[in-house]
Structure 1
Amino acid sequence: MSAEPPVSLRELRARAEEVVTPEAWEYLETGAGAEVSLGEAESAWQRWRFRPYVLRDVAQISTSCRLLGHDLATPVLVAPTAYHEPYHPTAELGTAEGVRDAGSLLCLSTRSSRTVERVAEYAGPWWLQVYVMTDRDITEAMVDRAVAAGASALVLTGDTPYVSRRARGTALPLQDEVALVNVQQHLAGRTWSSLEQDPRVTYADIEWLASRSGLPVLVKGVLRADEARACVAAGAAGVVVSNHGARQLDRVVPTALALPEVARAVADQVPVLVDGGIRSGHDVATALALGADAVLVGRPTMHALATGGAPGVTAMLRALTAQLAEAMGLLGISSLGGFDRSLVEDVTHARG
């Protein structure tokens, strides 16, 4: 286990708010509608309670995992978040470097403020998150560039056919040369509507992206068992249980409650990942016990980048991993393979 003292993500968030512009902070922190789902994202993990094993040898604890061909030091990955430049001058380059140094994996947003080629220079293992745009030639060009730059998987966002209005949302103050850095070269003769998300995306697009790229395709935004099975049947190499940070559809189920049924449906076939409201090693441990192979963190990554650049991102990921390792020891398991459903119980249905 690491001797590095755990860092409170609550404190990290407070420090980030002090250094980020009000406009950038509001863009990052707001949710959809009345922000019901945003308010539930973190608390939903806390309805689960642990039932630890005892008298187990936990002298040596490993948080390492293997995921779609990558050997990682931690199951805590970085979720795709748009436009890092307003949060730190190094933008996605700092994020990529910090993730790499923590032995983790970066899922890079299509809407990044640095090109995929530049980010790849700083990254360890990385995936590209994909929005299918109304002009699919642009999507294909983005995918081709990501493959050439070394992306090892694509993550198809399936939960955003339209962009929702947010309760307090404002547009980020970005110049076009930053906001469009990944697509500008493909815009000649095209209108802005070419960049809108295509509401016609279907299961068939999983195979389209896989054939185009030759890469595994995961589907992000899955909250139902039947949808998870349908994605796998259509060729998905994994699913990400996600509600888009509660930024699109309000009153959507928290990921902490959707994860168990999705994992039961497909975890024996493909990796299951989850994001949304994960703020401690206990949350990570809960997700793994409920059937996730790995978790992703989005807003905490931005807080870490804003306050510490690449070293801040590394420190945040290492802190969550250290907290996870401590929880594992107290749960009586020494590797990620020791997690199982019996380790957690829904407190709202606890036995007397």
Structure 2
Amino acid sequence: MESVTNVMEYEILAKERLPKMIYDYYASGAEDQWTLQENRNAFSRILFRPRILVDVSNIDTTTSVLGFKISMPIMVAPTAMQKMAHPEGEYATARATSAAGTIMTLSSWGTSSVEEVASTGPGIRFFQLYVYKDRNVVMQLVKRAERAGFKAIALTVDTPRLGRREADIKNRFVLRQVCFAT
């Protein structure tokens, strides 16, 4: 593949370059992957409305999220264990979102801590938070994110129990929380 011309080609490149177990972790979902397929179907229904004979010499894609002005209506969602895919992992994501003028949400299951991500330089960053039974752990995570300059908490409430990820079962992959709960 000489150059990437659309988003789906990134998946092809990832499959070629990543070990099967790691690719399967990123590319698959839980149970019968029903939600994953529904998400793809929903995105495929989003269409751009063409404008004809309209002046497009000055296009402004800026918007705001929670009062933070960003360059485009695109943010980076929390993605666990990014260093499995590349040694720079969350560091590269933090630098890229900052350069693009948008928001990164750091996963609670990241391979870099809030302090490490903050050390990459300026940027608008949110922190994804799972609520653990031990509320002291939760409070410490929130305080660390706040001290590191993270601007919001993205509360994840749909994971009191992890879904049954069939590709991970077949690959005998075990996701360990490496940064924040230890």
Tell me which interval the TM-score lies in, with the shorter structure as reference length. 0.7 to 0.9
Q: Distance in 2 between matches of 1:172 and 1:94?
A: 24
Q: 1:70 to 1:7 in 2, by over 3 A?
A: farther
In structure 1, distance between residues paired with 2:48 and 2:72: 21
Structure-2 residue corresponding to 1:150: 149
Sequence identity percentage: 33
Cα displacement (A) at 1:102: 1.3
Change (3 A) 1:48 1:116: closer
**TM-score under structure 1 length normalisation:** 0.46
Q: Quickly say closer, same or farther: Cα 1:48–1:124, change in 2 above 3 A.
A: closer
For the residues of structure 1 that align with 2:8 and 2:44, how far apart are their CA atoms? 15
Cα deviation, residue 52, structure 1: 4.5
Query: SS of the counterpart of 1:44?
Result: helix
Q: What is the deviation of 1:26? A: 1.2
For structure 2, the residue ranges without an aligned partner over 5 or more in a row are none
- Deviation at residue 66 of structure 1 after TM alignment: 2.1
Alignment size in residue pairs: 177
- Structure 1 residues 11 and 52: alpha-carbon distance in aligned structure 2, compared to 1, 3 A threshold: closer
Distance 2:149 2:103 in 1: 13
Change (3 A) 1:148 1:71: same
Contact 2:80 2:108 in 1 (8 A): yes
- CA distance, structure 2, for counterparts of residue 50 and residue 115 of structure 1: 37
Q: Which residue of 2 is the match for residue 119 of structure 1? A: 117
Q: What is the aligned partner in structure 2 of residue 86 from structure 1?
A: 84
Residue of structure 1 in register with 2:106 after alignment: 108
Displacement of 1:51: 5.2
Question: Any conservation in 2 of the 1:84–1:91 contact (CA below 8 Å)?
Answer: yes
1:70 maps to 2:68: yes
Higher helix share: 1
> Aligned-pair distance for 1:71?
2.0
Secondary structure in 2 matching 1:77: coil
Indicate which of 95, 100, 121 corresponds to 2:93.
95
Matches for 1:325-336 after TM superposition, within 5 Å: none
5+ residue gaps, structure 1 = 185-352
Residue matched to 1:140 = 139
SS of 1:118's equivalent? helix
Q: Which residue of 2 aligns with 1:164?
A: 163
- Where does residue 310 of structure 1 map in the other structure? none
Q: Structure 2 vs 1, CA of residues 160 and 173 (structure 1 numbering), >3 Å: closer, same or farther?
A: closer
In the TM superposition, residue 142 of structure 1 has moved relative to its aligned partner by 0.5
CA deviation after TM superposition for structure 1 residue 96, in Å: 0.8
1:67 Cα deviation from its structure 2 partner: 2.0
How far apart, CA to CA, are the structure 1 residues paired with 2:139 and 2:108?
A: 12
TM-score by length of structure 2 reads 0.86
Q: 1:49 to 1:153 in 2, by over 3 A?
A: closer
Alpha carbons of structure 1 residues 47 and 71: separation in structure 2 relative to 1, 3 Å = closer
Matches within 5 A, 1:94-243: 94-122=92-120, 124-170=123-169, 172=173, 179-184=177-182
Task: Tell me the distance in 1 between the aligned counterparts of 2:64 and 2:34.
Answer: 35
Match of 2:19?
21
Pairwise CA distance, 1:48: 5.2
CA distance in 2, matches of 1:93, 1:21: 21
Equivalent position of 1:219 in the other structure: none
Q: 1:126 to 1:167 in 2, by over 3 A?
A: same
- State the alpha-carbon separation in 2 of the partners of residues 53 and 87 from structure 1: 39
CA distance in 2 between partners of 1:109 and 1:24 (Å):
17
When the two chains are superposed, the root-mean-square deviation of aligned CA atoms in Å is 2.3
